[in-house]
Amino acid sequence: MAYDNVNDSVSPIELASEEIIIAELYGEIGDSTSALEYVEKAANNSMYHIDIMDKTGEDAGNYMAWPTPRNLPWILWEDHLMKPQFDFIRNNQRFVKSFEMLKSNSHELK
């Protein structure tokens, strides 16, 4: 899956993590348009991440060390999108779509 990254030196994991923090900042200042834009970007980039993260190497380990058994979509919706910064856009269809996409693709890593 392609991801929204102009600079290929930044991984989708890093990009999604940065984008969700930017979305939170826009949420804190009440900028719904920008907050929604960055929620969507983070959600889309996390989908690329799950394609890679679930592939195991020859040693049956994941491609990189990860500090939690949860995948990135799970972390994004549970640790970030549940924050009060998003209360003002929580019922927006764009937010709901991104939230549901993340939640439905959440699982423990293999």
Residue appearing with tokens 């929580």:
90
Q: Does the residue 2 lie in any domain?
A: no
Claim: this prediction has a pTM higher than 0.85: no
- When pLDDT is averaged across residues 36-63 and rounded to a whole number, the result is 75
pLDDT in tens, 13-49: 889 999 999 999 999 999 999 999 999 999 999 887 6
Residue 40 covered by a domain: yes
Residue 5 lies in a domain: no
Position 50 pLDDT exceeds 80: no
* Rounded Cα gap, residues 81 and 102, in angstroms: 10
Residues 6 or more apart in contact with residue 11 via CB below 8 angstroms: none
Assess if residue 4 is contained within a domain.
Answer: no
- Contact, 107 vs 71, CB < 8 A? yes
CB 76 within 8 A of CB 49: no
The answer to whether position 88 is within a domain reads: yes
Q: How many domains in the chain?
A: 1
Q: Has residue 92 been placed in a domain?
A: yes
Please indicate, yes or no, if residue 21 is contained in any of the structural domains. yes
Helix pair 93-104, 32-53: axis angle to 10 deg: 20
Within a domain: 42: yes
- Domain limits for position 67: 12-104
